[in-house]
Amino acid sequence: AGHLDPLSSPVPSVSTKVGYLRPLTRIRPGERFPSFDHGEAAMVRSGALIAELITTTGSSLPLARFVEGDVAPSLARLSTPAFSLRYRSEEVTQIAWLRSGDEAPAAREQETRARDALLFASMQQITILTCLPASYRLYVELLRCASVSGNVCFDLPTHTELAARTCTTRETISREISLLRRHGVLSQGKSAQLLNTHDLLRRIARSLQLDDEADVWKSIGVAPLGSVDVIHAHQCCGGNRPSTDLH
C-alpha cells in the first residue's frame, strides 16, 4: 500500500467526466456516516470529507482529508474488530457516486490506492496506541491537532477528550499538559499554540529510535506542518533554523 499523508489529499486528483457520475448528494457540515449509501466509491465534487478511525472506546482519530476531485473509497470492508472507519463532512460537501463498472481506469486506480492507504494509516494509529507510552501518545495527538488545523495554532480538545483519544486517564493528560506548558512547548489557554514542535518530535524520536524528523512524521502517520510552523520555530530558536537531525 502507498503512503498516506493524513489530512491532505490521499492521492492525486483525476480529471473526471460527469457522464459516469450519479447525481450529486449534499452532505451537511459535521454529518457522520460509516459508508456511502450503495457501498460504492464516491467523488468529492465540492467541500471536504474527513476519514476517521473509531476505536473500541469510541474515540475518533482523523486519518485523511478528501477534497474536490478526490475519490473517496467505500469503507464497508475496511473495519476490523480493533477499529472501524467513518466519514465526517468538514463543511457543506457534495459527492457523486461512481457508476459501478463504468468509471475511468484512473478513478478506479485512485480508489484502490486511497483504500490501501487508509488501511495502512489505520494500522499505524493502532500501533501508536498499543506501543507508545501515554505521554508520547499525547505528543502525537497534539501534532495531529496542529496538522488538522494546518497551523501551529489550534483549539485544544478537553482533557477528557484527549484522554479518550490516547487511551489513558484524564489525570495523566492534565499532568503532561502542565509539564509541556512549563517547559515552553505548549502555550496557555484553550486556543493552544505549539511553541516548539521540534521538542515533541525529538521526544517521540527517542521512543521510536529514529534520527530524522521526516522519519518521525512518517512513522506516526501525521502530515508535517507547513511553512508557518517552520517560520515560528525559526523565531523561537533565536534566529537559528532548527535542524532536522534529532540527535
Helix (H) or strand (E) holding 62: strand 60-67
Q: What percent of the chain has pLDDT over 70?
A: 76
Instruction: Please check the confidence at residue 8 and state whether its pLDDT lies above 70.
Output: no
Whole-angstrom Cα distance, residue 210 to residue 92? 40
Instruction: Please check the confidence at residue 138 and state whether its pLDDT lies above 90.
Output: yes
Mean pLDDT, the chain, rounded, equals 76
pLDDT given for residue 79 in this prediction:
66
pLDDT given for residue 34 in this prediction:
82
| 3-class secondary structure, 173 | helix
pLDDT given for residue 81 in this prediction:
62
116 contacts 10 by C-beta, under 8 angstroms: no
CB within 8 Å of 228: residues ≥ 6 apart: 151, 152
Dihedral sign of CA atoms 194, 199, 203, 206 in order: positive
pLDDT given for residue 16 in this prediction:
37
pLDDT given for residue 74 in this prediction:
84
Instruction: From 160, 157, 161, select the one nearest 146 (Cα to Cα).
Output: 157
Q: How many CA atoms lie within 13 A of 49 on its CB side?
A: 34
pLDDT given for residue 93 in this prediction:
93
Helix (H) or strand (E) holding 214: helix 213-220
User: Model confidence over 23-71: pLDDT tens digits?
Assistant: 578 889 999 888 776 657 888 999 999 888 887 767 787 888 899 989 9
**Helix/strand/coil percent split, the chain, to 5:** 40, 20, 40
Confidence label for 183 from pLDDT (cuts 50, 70 and 90): very high
Confidence label for 2 from pLDDT (cuts 50, 70 and 90): very low
